[in-house]
Chain A
Amino acid sequence: MTVHNIRHGDASDGAEAVGGRLSRVDGPAKITGAAKYAVEQQLEGLAYAVLVESTIASGKVRAIDTKAAEAAPGVLQVLTPDTIISLRTASDWFGTPPPDKPYCPLARDITFSGQHVAAIVAETFEQAVAAAALVKLSYDEAPSIVDLSDAKAGDGIPIDAMTKEWGDAQAAFASAPVRICAAYNTPREYQAPMEPHGLIARWEGDQLTVWEPSQWLDGMARTYAEWFGVPFENVRLVSPYIGGGFGSKALALSHGAVAACAAKMLGRPVRLVMTRPQTFTGYGGRAATRQTVTIGADAQGKIQSIVHRGVNETSIDGMWVEPLGSVTSIMYATPNFSSKQNVVRVNSVVPGAMRAPGENPSAFGIESAIDELAYEVGIDPLEIRLRNYAEQDPYAKKAWSTRQLREAFAAGAERFGWSKRSPEPRSMRDGNQLIGWGVAAGTYPVRRAYGEAIVRILADGSVEVESSSIDMGQGTYTILAQTAAETVGVRADDVVVKLGDSRFPRAGVTGGSRLAGVMTGAVYKAATSALDQLVGLAISDPRSPFHALQANTLVVANGRIGSPRGDGPDVSIAELLKSVGRDHIEATGDTMPANSTPEDRYKNYTTIAMALPHTEGDYSRHSWCAHFIEVHVDEDFGTVRVSRVVSALDSGRLYNPKLAESQWKGGIIMGIGQALLEEGIVDRRHGRIVNNNLADYLVPTNADIPDIEVISVGIPDLHSSVLGGKGVGELAIVGVAPAIANAVFHATGKRVRDLPITLEKLI
């Protein structure tokens, strides 16, 4: 449980209301070192676990020699597939009933390099690390398929559910006067949050407490409960702060199962934290992808047909589909369209969600291709986007709830100075630096679900909010404080927000940019109900100073209650509660449909099966953005530097622009990394990730990033959420990589269709 109650300026500047630029309420704890992240809990009797992993990509573990490790100082346990307790298979995140078979988080059959094979538990971390190095594994190695480019990889498995078609795309392409066709590739990319994955597990009888960084407390608690065959209520997940997730911390993973088994077997709390190299194989990053995009257009650049084919890699025994046609099918108006996708099995950990899964690589394909079409036709890359502007969702054939993309193009172009762009490639330079200007659009669907919260008005007039949702830096603590403050009528200083404990009212996954919309709605509802109770008491309780007033309603502002006309008493919330003999008022609010059963609620909060489609009803709901990016390319060395970024974004209403701008810029920066730096390099012999560390897997540093300007062009979208916001977290990365690739083409005349854009591809 984490509590924030910190003073921030005064209410007069409007910062405390929803939409105000309140500084992070969890900020002081984070900048003083007081914020305790999950694995930093200091527990009595804590033991330390370290994983041992496979060094081959495919085959069987013939033998595990643990003698030396067992004899090493401080070793308490050596866990292998033979010694670890047996678990039950858990259901997946859709809640699909699992096969009735045991689950072992340590592997005998190896399907990727870096698979957990054994674990050492010792009295100290140093002893566990030393003993883990003494475990000797021998294998019967089998041939492996190391990645998509492997000759054995094949064409893969068609995923029919990904097929989207209308009109006759092939015929329209064949007869189009202007035709382009190109292949676009993205490599394996990694979330690389600064806080490595890890946990502390502690059993008390059949009650399990897990302190673990988590984007989804209730979902992970369900998985642990199913693994160990204990009731869901017996598992408590605690995740007060999360040191970055980007999609990677939403699910309970095998290392968590190992730690929880060790704790159960040992009868002591156990901490297990992955090493940085282990974070490259202990869970999946973004799958490598391949796309071909063909566009047929008329001589004016009006699109007549798009044919799109995509492939992403998945693991040998798991399934990950990265929806590559997601942006392709909605960004531009086209009368004929066809998109199909396959997945290819390779010897890798199953890929996972990374910031805008699907939309991100999808946009790299279509937003590069439309740029190629602009040059082919000979018109401005911004103009071709406007010429093919989709006035409604071309796939769902529904009206957009809101689509401020035209406004984003206009605002971004104006601020960037796009009209001064010289159209010819290699026509702008500064000494030996070729200068390029590129544009690309991005989008992300508005994912919606239901949330639940408690709002309490306490005896001292302060307000408390509880939810099992989380804050991994998006600003949940802050925007929920603002929501409760504005709704009840108190100052944000007087709101305490408690998150990150599965004992609190339930919340679904923090993923797909849905949390802010879901939880502000739930807190708004709970706070409204608490306020109604407060005002009801003030009006009707005979002991209330307002009783004689015979008012129909009262106004609560800045923690004080009075009549709307300003006559009669004016008392603080604390004084009112005291006069009516109440020590608190409490209201639970949720956004579930009224007739929901307890089973519906459990399903909603512990699976993603009840998420609402973004095209439900009459509207198609998406966030939109346009990126304008300048690059400098050294003509001699081919080095690319991003020198200027202006992005205009439509995330609907912003609950706190200060924090939303930070998240947008963060997405843009991750996009710069994707465009220029990030690539998991696979060893051809053993399928290992060669650059499995932060010195070799290059993420952007401060020195790689220029100043970035973001402009909000959104308007409240009440079809998308209770308070009018759309999505923030994932949107801004979408379109950055193609904007940079397009800028690099403008600078150099070379079209790089294979990320990242490294110097050898330009020389």
Chain B
Amino acid sequence: MTRTTVPVHLDINGDHHELQLEPRVTLLDALRDRLGLTGTKKGCDHGQCGACTVHVDGERVLACLTLAAQVEGRTVTTIEGLAREGEMHPVQAAFLEQDAFQCGYCTPGQIMSAVACIREGHAGSDEEIREYMAGNLCRCGAYPHIVAAVRQAALEVQS
């Protein structure tokens, strides 16, 4: 039994990548194992923890439940592509200021979710932030500080 590979063209953080992949390769494993973009984390590989959250065409997506071949022709943004010209995104700056992480492993996924949460208009209150950030688990228990960071960044982004 031989497995065939397919050419996959990926647009990640504005860079174009041409890969030859088995169709079963997930976007998460393509990022981490083929492209060395290890900022996107693998916590469960089953869409349960949110650590692998990236943006596809601006929407938050779980990279572990997405095949690399599915994002052909679409725009992918990972944590590595969030800062612009060396300036941290307001969400990143707020996470540092509010100490919204400890071990840092869920953090890239939290930040990608937070950016989308604010963009979606779901950062209007602490209650709303808690609900719309509930798909990203943090075992260190940084939740109150994540809420504070999203609240702070939402004000900055809107102003």
Residues of the B chain whose Cβ atoms lie less than 8 Å from the Cβ of A242: 103
Residues of the A chain whose Cβ atoms lie less than 8 Å from the Cβ of B111: 31
Q: Which residue of A28, A192, A193, A702 is within 8 Å of B147 (Cβ)?
A: A702
| B131-142 interface bits toward A, Cβ cutoff 8 Å, 1 = contact, 0 = none | 101111111111
Q: CA A29 – CA B88 in complex, angstroms?
A: 11
Residues of the A chain whose Cβ atoms lie less than 8 Å from the Cβ of B106: 194
Given known A24-B99, A27-B96, A194-B43, contact A703–B141 (CB-CB < 8 A): no
Is B25 located at the chain interface by the 8 A CB criterion?
Answer: yes
Given known A194-B43, A473-B102, A695-B48, contact A702–B92 (CB-CB < 8 A): no
For the complex formed, measure the closest distance between the CB of B65 and the CB atoms of chain A, giving whole angstroms. Answer: 12
| A186-200 interface bits toward B, Cβ cutoff 8 Å, 1 = contact, 0 = none | 000001111110000
User: Which chain A residues (160-204) contact chain B, with CB distance < 8 Å?
Assistant: 191-196
Q: CA A124 – CA B79 in complex, angstroms?
A: 25
Query: Which one of A139-147, A422-430, A437-445, A656-664 contacts B?
Result: A656-664
Residues of the A chain whose Cβ atoms lie less than 8 Å from the Cβ of B22: 124, 126
Given known A72-B1, A243-B103, A705-B144, contact A693–B39 (CB-CB < 8 A): no
> By the criterion CB–CB under 8 Å, are A33 and B143 in contact?
no
Main secondary structure on chain B at its contact with chain A?
A: loop
Is B11 located at the chain interface by the 8 A CB criterion?
Answer: no
Is A503 located at the chain interface by the 8 A CB criterion?
Answer: no
| A and B contact pairs by CB, cutoff 8 A, 5 listed | A26-B104, A30-B107, A34-B80, A693-B46, A700-B143
Residues of the A chain whose Cβ atoms lie less than 8 Å from the Cβ of B79: 31-33
B43: nearest chain-A partner, CB-CB: A194
Q: CA A705 – CA B130 in complex, angstroms?
A: 8
Q: CA A26 – CA B99 in complex, angstroms?
A: 11
Q: CA A625 – CA B41 in complex, angstroms?
A: 34
Given known A126-B24, A193-B103, A194-B105, contact A244–B44 (CB-CB < 8 A): no
User: Which chain A residues (693-733) contact chain B, with CB distance < 8 Å?
Assistant: 693-695, 699-708
Q: Which residue of B2, B49, B99, B135 is within 8 Å of A23 (Cβ)?
A: B99
Which of A192, A246, A663, A705 has the largest count of B CB atoms less than 10 A from its CB? Answer: A705
Residues of the B chain whose Cβ atoms lie less than 8 Å from the Cβ of A36: 38
Residues of the B chain whose Cβ atoms lie less than 8 Å from the Cβ of A749: none
Residues of the A chain whose Cβ atoms lie less than 8 Å from the Cβ of B88: 28, 31-32
Q: CA A124 – CA B135 in complex, angstroms?
A: 29
For the complex formed, measure the closest distance between the CB of A335 and the CB atoms of chain B, giving whole angstroms. Answer: 39
Residues of the B chain whose Cβ atoms lie less than 8 Å from the Cβ of A695: 46, 48
Given known A195-B105, A707-B126, contact A244–B141 (CB-CB < 8 A): no
User: Which chain B residues (77-134) contact chain A, with CB distance < 8 Å?
Assistant: 78-80, 82-83, 88, 92, 95-97, 99, 101-108, 111, 126, 129-131, 133-134
Residues of the B chain whose Cβ atoms lie less than 8 Å from the Cβ of A670: 139, 141
> By the criterion CB–CB under 8 Å, are B39 and A34 in contact?
yes
For the complex formed, measure the closest distance between the CB of A751 and the CB atoms of chain B, giving whole angstroms. Answer: 27
Given known A32-B79, A42-B36, A666-B142, contact A194–B103 (CB-CB < 8 A): yes
> By the criterion CB–CB under 8 Å, are A246 and B139 in contact?
yes
> By the criterion CB–CB under 8 Å, are A33 and B99 in contact?
no
Is B18 located at the chain interface by the 8 A CB criterion?
Answer: no
Q: CA A273 – CA B33 in complex, angstroms?
A: 13
User: Which chain A residues (250-298) contact chain B, with CB distance < 8 Å?
Assistant: 273, 275-276
Taking A32-B39, A194-B105, A472-B102 as known contacts, 9 extra A-B pairs with beta carbons closer than 8 A to each other, sorted by chain A number, are: A33-B79, A40-B38, A126-B24, A243-B105, A666-B140, A670-B141, A693-B48, A694-B43, A701-B143
Q: CA A275 – CA B136 in complex, angstroms?
A: 18
How many residues of chain A have a CB within 8 Å of chain B?
A: 65
For the complex formed, measure the closest distance between the CB of A239 and the CB atoms of chain B, giving whole angstroms. Answer: 12
Is A111 located at the chain interface by the 8 A CB criterion?
Answer: no
> By the criterion CB–CB under 8 Å, are B144 and A665 in contact?
yes
Q: CA A681 – CA B43 in complex, angstroms?
A: 21
Which of B24, B107, B147 has the largest count of A CB atoms less than 10 A from its CB? Answer: B107
For the complex formed, measure the closest distance between the CB of A141 and the CB atoms of chain B, giving whole angstroms. Answer: 28
For the complex formed, measure the closest distance between the CB of A438 and the CB atoms of chain B, giving whole angstroms. Answer: 20
Q: CA A472 – CA B105 in complex, angstroms?
A: 10
Q: CA A265 – CA B107 in complex, angstroms?
A: 37
For the complex formed, measure the closest distance between the CB of B154 and the CB atoms of chain A, giving whole angstroms. Answer: 15
Given known A33-B79, A194-B105, A699-B139, contact A276–B134 (CB-CB < 8 A): no
> By the criterion CB–CB under 8 Å, are A194 and B139 in contact?
yes
A705: nearest chain-B partner, CB-CB: B143
Which of A28, A31, A33, A665 has the largest count of B CB atoms less than 10 A from its CB? Answer: A31
> By the criterion CB–CB under 8 Å, are B141 and A193 in contact?
no
Is B45 located at the chain interface by the 8 A CB criterion?
Answer: yes
Closest 10 pairs between A and B when the two form their complex, measured CB to CB: A33-B39, A473-B102, A243-B105, A669-B141, A30-B104, A666-B141, A473-B103, A33-B79, A40-B38, A703-B134
Given known A244-B139, A668-B141, A693-B46, contact A33–B40 (CB-CB < 8 A): yes
> By the criterion CB–CB under 8 Å, are B95 and A31 in contact?
yes
